[in-house]
Amino acid sequence: MQKKKVAISIGDLNGIGIQLALQNHNAIKELVDPLYCIDKTMLQRAAELLQLPIPDDFQTVDNIAPAFTIEPGTVSAQSGAYAYASFVKAVELAREKKVDAVTTLPIHKKAWEVAGVKYKGHTDALRDFFEADAIMMLGCPKMYVALFTEHIPLGEVAESINEKDLTRFLVDFYRTAKPTSTVAVLGLNPHAGDDGVLGNEETIIQKSIENATTILKEENPSLFTLHSSLFTAPLVPDIAFTPNVRRHYTHYVAMYHDQGLAPLKALYFDEGINISLNLPILRTSVDHGTAFDIAYKGKKVNGMSYINAVKYVADSR
């Protein structure tokens, strides 16, 4: 079987992304045919700083963005602009069907900001590029978590939970994640609201679950031959990830960022990945940051998340 071709956006060159790409190239090329969105000049500069050889079959792309001086562990407009340009090139290649998917190495959000990039991250940009409601799902085969709200202040989460948007989210998530068991949906409040004593957002969540179930059942009645319910009722958040509960579910929907990602990263930090669902292209990513504190310092960098992100592409249908 022919390997899939994957465009790899190189991330922030002041961070660990390029080290991951160079050190894991031999493992990655066994899974897919990688095309690295970095030009030869910046690749050479990074490799020299890292004191790493450049593999002979390390395929690159010309004319990404202006070359700049790498400053390890530093937020800079130049590195932010280059990271964004690398990402845009990778998406362009996928849109034009020149590659089968995109895998992204870590960016620094502040570097994007100082470079004048209007997006907070990859997922925000992808929503705009494709005019689609991209869904952020993170995790590994043992546990995936999708986020209803993402990078917004905690004080804005409750007001963001409304029946129309959450219904659409649950339907789109189920269609594109294709879970094979019931999806665990978290409540927002402690004790899932305690019947309204601690908050009433759970009534909105429950109604959205019912709406989504109806829509999906009308589309595909055979779903209910797989399992009796597509979604749980709103689960009490503080017990949802305990072993006795977790063993029943592989897919979770969290109402906000840390509600889902704190337990996920406590359990599966090294192996977790980020997947953008509900888009016309497949995009996966590492589930960690630029690690400025260890960049270019000769320290070992764990490549498990990166390899798993590429493996997800290789295994996808």
pLDDT one-digit tens code per residue, 20-70: 999 999 999 999 999 999 999 999 999 999 999 999 999 999 999 999 999
pLDDT for residue 308 is more than 80: yes
How far apart CA 155 and CA 292 sit, in angstroms, is 29
Condensed to tens digits (0 to 9), the pLDDT of residues 231-246 reads: 999 999 999 999 999 9
What H or E segment, with its residue span, contains residue 284? Answer: strand 283-286
**Percent residues over pLDDT 70 in the chain:** 99
Give pLDDT, residue 265.
Answer: 92
How far apart CA 112 and CA 12 sit, in angstroms, is 9
Angle formed by the axes of helices 163-177 and 201-219, nearest 10°: 50
Mean pLDDT of 68-97: 98
CA angle (233 as vertex; 162, 191 as ends), nearest 5:
85
- pTM for this model (two decimals): 0.90
Q: Are 205 and 166 in contact (CB under 8 A)?
A: yes
Confidence class for position 74, pLDDT limits 50, 70, 90: very high
Angle formed by the axes of helices 122-130 and 77-95, nearest 10°: 40
Which two tokens mark 238? Answer: 């503080």
Q: Are 12 and 107 in contact (CB under 8 A)?
A: yes
Mean pLDDT of 203-213: 97
**Percent residues over pLDDT 90 in the chain:** 92
pLDDT for residue 211 is more than 70: yes
Q: Identify the DSSP state of 252.
A: E
Q: Identify the DSSP state of 203.
A: H
What H or E segment, with its residue span, contains residue 114? Answer: helix 109-114
Mean pLDDT of 7-28: 98
Q: Are 252 and 184 in contact (CB under 8 A)?
A: yes
Q: Identify the DSSP state of 192.
A: G
Give pLDDT, residue 317.
Answer: 79
Measured from the Cβ of residue 154, the count of other Cβ atoms closer than 10 Å reads 11
How far apart CA 147 and CA 124 sit, in angstroms, is 13
Condensed to tens digits (0 to 9), the pLDDT of residues 244-273 reads: 999 999 999 999 999 999 999 999 988 999
Q: How far is CA 290 from CA 128, 133, 199, 243, 308, in A?
A: 24, 26, 37, 31, 17
Confidence class for position 18, pLDDT limits 50, 70, 90: very high
Average pLDDT over the chain reads 95
Give pLDDT, residue 227.
Answer: 66
Q: Are 12 and 111 in contact (CB under 8 A)?
A: yes
Confidence class for position 205, pLDDT limits 50, 70, 90: very high
All structural domains of the chain, each given as residue ranges with its CATH number in brackets, are: 1-132+279-317 (3.40.718.10), 135-277 (3.40.718.10)
Condensed to tens digits (0 to 9), the pLDDT of residues 172-196 reads: 999 999 998 999 999 999 999 998 9
Give pLDDT, residue 182.
Answer: 95
Which two tokens mark 90? Answer: 């990778």
Give pLDDT, residue 17.
Answer: 98
Sheet with strand 143-147: strands edge to edge = 33-37, 5-9, 101-104, 283-286, 273-277, 135-140, 143-147, 251-254, 184-185
